Amino acid sequence: MSEPLVDTFGRVHRDLRVSLTDRCNLRCTYCMPNDFADWLPGPELLSTDELMTVLEIATDLGITGVRLTGGEPLLRADIVDVVRRITGLPTPPRISVTTNGLALVKLAGPLRDAGLERVNVSLDTLDRERFKALTFRDRFDDVLAGIKAAQAAGLAPVKVNSVLMKGVNDDEAPALLRRALDEGWKLRFIEQMPLDPSGIWLRSTMITADDIFAALSEHHTLTPVPSRGSAPAEEFYVDGGPETVGIIASVTRPFCAACDRLRLTADGQLRNCLFARDELDLRSALRDDALDAAGVRLEVERRLRLVVKDKLPGHGINDLNFIQPTRPMSAIGG
CA 299/CA 101 separation, integer angstroms:
36
Q: Does 172 bind ligand SAM (CB under 6 A)?
A: no
CA 292/CA 16 separation, integer angstroms:
25
Q: Does 329 bind ligand SAM (CB under 6 A)?
A: yes
Q: Does 330 bind ligand SAM (CB under 6 A)?
A: yes
Beta strands in 35-185 (DSSP E): 65-69, 94-99, 118-122, 159-163
Of the two residues 130 and 297, which places its CB atom closer to ligand SAM in the complex?
Answer: 130
Q: Does 99 bind ligand SAM (CB under 6 A)?
A: yes
State in angstroms the smallest separation of the CB of 135 from ligand SAM.
9
* Cα-based torsion angle of the residue sequence 143, 144, 150, 154 in order, rounded to the nearest 10 degrees: 170
CA 192/CA 211 separation, integer angstroms:
12
- Single out the segment in contact with ligand SAM by CB under 6 A; choices: 96-104, 202-210, 260-268, 304-312: 96-104
Which residues in 140-169 contact ligand SAM (CB under 6 A)? 161, 163
Of the two residues 60 and 170, which places its CB atom closer to ligand SAM in the complex?
Answer: 170
Considering only CA atoms, which of 47, 36, 65, 63 is closest in space to residue 331?
36
State in angstroms the smallest separation of the CB of 331 from ligand SAM.
9
Of the two residues 190 and 256, which places its CB atom closer to ligand SAM in the complex?
Answer: 190
Whether 46 and 54 have beta carbons less than 8 Å apart is answered as yes
Whether 162 and 190 have beta carbons less than 8 Å apart is answered as yes
Q: Does 72 bind ligand SAM (CB under 6 A)?
A: yes
CA 116/CA 266 separation, integer angstroms:
20
Among 5, 16, 20, 24, binds ligand SAM (CB under 6 A): 24
Q: Which helix (H) or strand (E) holds 264?
A: strand 261-264
Amino acid identity, residue 242? P
Rg of the chain over all Cα atoms, to the nearest angstrom? 19
Site mask, ligand SAM, residues 26-55, x = CB under 6 A? Answer: ----xx------------------------
What does the chain come to in residues?
334
- Single out the segment in contact with ligand SAM by CB under 6 A; choices: 85-93, 131-139, 189-197, 263-271: 189-197
Coil vs helix vs strand at 248: strand
- Single out the segment in contact with ligand SAM by CB under 6 A; choices: 4-12, 193-201, 215-223, 291-299: 193-201
State in angstroms the smallest separation of the CB of 210 from ligand SAM.
17
State in angstroms the smallest separation of the CB of 258 from ligand SAM.
19
Residues forming the site for ligand SAM (CB under 6 A): 24, 30-31, 69-70, 72, 98-100, 122, 161, 163, 190, 192-193, 195-196, 329-330, 334
